[in-house]
């Protein structure tokens, strides 16, 4: 898939190309949606093509951000297992690494970059545990890029269902100017 956008006022244009793989979400185990990079995420009752559940998610298809720009990441968790009390328990871990660095070698970068938004609380975190009562969750976070050097990065999110022991992971790339 390729998307090309041109700003009529400035004449600037951007293009993003990505291979699209359609996942089978009709499975019976823990899954994550694709990670959607966004210009903003906010609670909203407003209808429209950028609405996801109770949130308005404004995408940024170029995946290119300035260091002074907040970057939101939105994703959904499916098929969390409930315990005998009807609660779900899961752990979320984030890592950001420069493109080309394998695995979690750059995990320390995350403490400078991620501000996790959980309800009204804000906290710096590499990971957190959450308790809920729904088998599906809408999740978003904001990346703070102020101390990030320009370049290409990979964001990886791992979710572990603490009731079933299953883990699901997703990653996506982005650019910092």
Residue-range domain boundaries for the chain: 2-176
Pairwise CA distance, residues 44 & 51, whole Å: 8
Q: What angle do CA 100, 106, 102 make, to 5 degrees?
A: 35
| β-pairing verdict for 71-78 and 137-143 | antiparallel
pLDDT for the residue 99? 85
pLDDT for the residue 103? 59
Q: Which residues of the chain have pLDDT under 70?
A: 102-125
pLDDT for the residue 57? 95
pLDDT for the residue 35? 96
Contact 152, 98 (CB under 8 A): yes
pLDDT for the residue 102? 64
Token digits of residue 153: 């990065």
Note the helical H segments in the chain: 110-113
Q: What CATH code would you report for 2-176?
A: 2.60.40.10
pLDDT for the residue 111? 44
Whether the model clears a pTM of 0.85, i.e. scores above it, the answer is: no
């Amino acid at each position: 898939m390729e998307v090309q956008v041109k700003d009529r006022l400035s004449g600037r244009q951007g293009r993003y190309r990505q291979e699209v793989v359609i996942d089978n979400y009709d499975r019976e185990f823990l899954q994550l949606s694709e990670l959607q990079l966004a210009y903003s995420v906010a609670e909203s009752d407003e209808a429209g093509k950028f609405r996801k559940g109770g949130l308005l998610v404004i995408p940024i298809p170029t995946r290119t951000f300035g260091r002074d720009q907040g970057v939101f990441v939105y994703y959904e968790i499916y098929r969390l297992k409930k315990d005998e009390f009807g609660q779900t328990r899961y752990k979320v871990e984030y890592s950001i690494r420069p493109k080309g660095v394998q695995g979690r070698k750059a995990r320390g970068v995350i403490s400078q970059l991620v501000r996790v938004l959980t309800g009204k609380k804000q906290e710096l975190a590499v990971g957190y545990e959450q308790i809920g009562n729904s088998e599906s969750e809408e999740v978003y976070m904001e990346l703070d890029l102020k101390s990030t050097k320009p370049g290409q990065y990979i964001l990886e999110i791992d979710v572990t269902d603490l009731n079933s022991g299953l883990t699901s992971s997703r990653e996506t790339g982005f650019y910092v100017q």
